[in-house]
Structures are given as structure tokens and as C-alpha cells.
Structure 1
Amino acid sequence: MDESTVDALVTRARLLAGDGRRRILGITGAPGAGKSTLAARIVAELGPLATLVPMDGYHLSEAELHRLGRHDRKGAIDTFDAAGFVCLLRRLRAPGPATVYAPEFRRDLEESIAGAIPVPPDVPLVVTEGNYLLVDQGEWAAVRDLVDEAWYVEVDEETRLSRLVARHVAFGRPPREAEHRAYGSDQRNAELIAGTRARADLRIRFAAG
């Protein structure tokens, strides 16, 4: 990542966190673009001013994906509980006196853990990241109005795909299966996501590296 670009983005996020009320920053982009890394970096830089609540906590369970016949394309738009994610964002936008608890997706388990991410009422910025934040279909269409800023992260395709294959291998897939996934169902998801970039407030293109 270009450090000067990241520094400017941290400054922009800090300003968003400092206007006196709870704000939500959404970071999206295709799988492997770098959105999770950027979101984590911003939250680390802002410290107690920000909490990270990834969309991935709303993955459907392994059992439910098998029941629906969707397990082989886990990560596609219809393998998430979009309505549940929207409900969480609405709660986060209007914090009451109590902590809101969000689910966390654990890649080592391939399952979400309920109530794993606490968001105290005094945290001014919630950063959420995920693939489908700017999709204008079905339940997902509500997300855009629930985030105060939406950033779209992109990188050249060769870099993005190589990262994605490496990620799949790191989590236990054989190299051939990892490539099949990255260039197959993941690529179809990426094409859908790329079609949403015009709805972003900011497009961020990182150089390879």
C-alpha cells in the first residue's frame, strides 16, 4: 500500500469520527483488493475512536449453506444474511446507552461467532468492510443509505487474483482448487462488485505490493 495514500485516508476517517455523532464508514471492493487490510489499518490508527465490524459476520452457517445447496460458492451474494446485516447497521447508526454486539466470521472455523465484537456507545466511528456494500438489489440496497461514506478499493487484476489464490492456499485449499475458486465463483462475485463502484464516494486504487 502507498503509505501517503493510507495516511490521507486515515486523516479523512479521523475527520469523519470527529463531527460529534456516530458515523459509519463502509469499505468495499472485489475479493483480494485490499479492503480488509485498509479497514484494519484505519481502525488501528484511530484506536479508541473506531471499531471494525466486518460484513463477513453475516455469512450463513456451513449447515445452512449445505441445506440450500450453495456451499460450493460460499461468498456469493446469496450466501449472506443481508437483512441481518442491515438491522445491525441501523442499530449502530443510532447508539443507545448499551453496547451493541456484532458477529465475527472465523476463517479457522468457517463459521460466524455471535456477539464476538463489542461496539460501545461512545465509539464515534464504526468501520465496516465487505463485498456487497454498494449493491442496489434486494435487502442489500438499504446498506448504501446506512453508511455515511463508502470507499471502493481496487488494485490491478493480476495482483488481486494472485493474492486471492494465496489466501485460499493459506486456509487449506490445494493450489489447483484455490485457482479454480479464484477464477471461478470468486471472479463472478468480483464482476458483480465492480459494477457497483460508481455508487462510492471515493475510489482508491493501490499499486501492487
Structure 2
Amino acid sequence: MGSISENPVEGLALAQEYINRAKTLAQKKKRTILAIAGAPGSGKSTVARLLHEALADISMIVPMDGYHLSNKELERLKRKERKGAPDTFDVWGYKSLIERLKNQQAGEIIYAPEFYRTIEEPIAGSIPIFSDIPLIITEGNYLLLSQGEWKTLSPIFDEKWFVTAPVSDRQQRLVERHHYFGRSIEEAKAWVEQTDEPNAQLIEKNRENTDLVIEWNNPAK
């Protein structure tokens, strides 16, 4: 089970205005990159998934999460307890992929990695992207971050969306997600408080210069 479909909630719908906006982006003559950012648990992956389902013939999702560093490398760097922080991703690798996708040649297949929560590891070559797909939807926590190499990503994106949700909703979703993938409730709550929430606060501070903000309130209702 990969990051695009993790712990899915049935019966959700995305406003038609967002679908129409993305469809218009896909009608440009060149490959278009739509970036969807947001804090952990904000609903950005769900927004990306619903958008892709509505535009299945003309879009592909490329998650930033595929560039998680492996657990082995995080242990070497002594960062495993902060897994999910900005410095636990291969931002240079992700940037290179997006640049390749931006300039993909006719007939070329580019393969993207995907993060699998069932094993807590990324797997290379999991997502094939074909050159005739006009819209790439890329989603992730740090796409709009204004520090380090992350800050060089923004000019590559053609449009930038930010998904936000009430803190209580975000945290509850994260606790449920971590529990779904094997942590006890106590462990899940501790991870959200000590790791996810500091990352979320950093991400929320870097939401300027977005083209669209989506308020994703109570998506399970």
C-alpha cells in the first residue's frame, strides 16, 4: 500500500472549481507541474488523489515522499527519530526528477519512486510517467519551504496550491494513520506531538506565494 492510497477515506469529494482549474492547467501546450503542499495530516495527499481520479486520463501523481531517505541511511545520520523532517529527504534527487519531468521528451518513460508505509521505505522505479501526460501533480510537505535546497523548487512549479486544516483535525488523522500502520495509540500520539507537529508548524509558516489555498475541514464528513 503506497502513499497515494494510504488509509483511504471513502465518500470524499473535491470541489469542481479545483478540478476545473487543474484541467485548465493541463490544456497548456507544454508539460505542467502542479505542486500541492501542506502539513502532515492536512489532506494534501487526498486532494491530489481526488484530483487525479477526476482527471485520470491527463494526469499523474508524483509524491515527494518517494524521496524519504532509507531507514539505514537515517540511522547512519542519526536522524531516524526525526524521520519526516526536511533533512530526512533527498531534496536534490526530488528536484532532479521534477526538472526531468518538466523537460520530458516524446516517447520517454521516467520512473519515480514511491514511499510504502507498510515497510516505511521508498522503492525506486514504482511510478512510470509517460510523456503524453500533460499534467503532473506533485504533493509533499516541503514543496514551498524557503530554506536550504528546498527554496529552489518553487520556480520549477507552474502552479502552487496549499492545503490547510484545523490543528485538531490534522493531529487526529495523524494519530489514526500511525496507529493504522502499527504504532500503539500512545506511540502514535507521542510521534505526532514530538515529530509531526514541529514539522507542521514549520510548513504552515512557509505558505506564502501560493496560487490557491484549500481549507480542508473535516474531510471524513
Q: Does the alignment reach a TM-score above 0.5?
A: yes
Q: What is the correspondence of 1:11-90 to structure 2 with a 5 Å cutoff?
A: 11-90=20-99
Quote the residue 2:200 is aligned against.
190
Measured in 1, the distance between the counterparts of 2:121 and 2:34 equals 25
Matches of 2:195 and 2:169 in 1, distance apart?
18
Alignment partner of 2:159 out of 149, 154, 164 = 149
Identical counterparts, % of pairs = 46
The one-letter amino acid of 2:161's match is W
- The AA in structure 2 aligned to 1:25 is L
Provide the secondary structure at the position in 2 that maps to 1:20.
Answer: coil
1:6 positional shift: 2.2
> What is the alpha-carbon distance in structure 2 between the residues aligned to residue 164 and residue 110 of structure 1?
15
Q: Distance in 1 between matches of 2:39 and 2:56?
A: 26
**2:55 aligned counterpart, secondary structure:** helix
Q: Tell me which of 127, 132, 136 is aligned to 1:122.
A: 132
User: Contact conserved, 1:95 with 1:121, CA < 8 A, in 2?
Assistant: yes
Match of 1:100 among 110, 118, 121: 110
Give the CA deviation at 1:198: 1.2
Residue 136 of structure 1 deviates from its aligned partner by 1.5
Change (3 A) 1:175 1:2: closer
CA distance in 2, matches of 1:2, 1:62: 33
| TM-score normalized with structure 1 length | 0.96
Aligned residues of 1:2 and 1:206 also touching (Cα < 8 A): no
8 Å CA contact 1:24–1:125 kept in 2: the answer is: yes
* Aligned CA-pair RMSD: 1.2
TM-score by length of 2: 0.91
| Equivalent-residue separation in structure 2 for 1:194 and 1:207 (angstroms) | 16
After superposition, the C-alpha distances for 1:112-131 in whole angstroms (9 at most, x for unaligned) are 11111111011000000000
Q: What's the counterpart of residue 205 of structure 1?
A: 215
Say which structure is richer in helix: 1
Inter-partner Cα distance in structure 1 for 2:200 and 2:17: 26
1:91-125 CA distances to partner (integer Å, 9 max, x unpaired)?
01111131111111111111111111111011000
User: Structure 1 residue 139 and structure 2 residue 131: aligned?
Assistant: no
8 Å contact 1:2–1:207 — kept in the other structure? no
Deviations 1:70-90 (A, max 9, x none): 111110100000000000010
Moved more, 199-208 or 37-46: 199-208
Structure 1 residues not aligned, in runs of 5+? none
Q: How far apart, CA to CA, are the structure 1 residues paired with 2:104 and 2:182?
A: 39
Tell me, in whole angstroms, the C-alpha distance in 1 between the residues paired with 2:216 and 2:53. Answer: 19
* Structure 2: distance between partners of 1:195 and 1:162: 21
2:2 is equivalent to residue 10 of structure 1: no
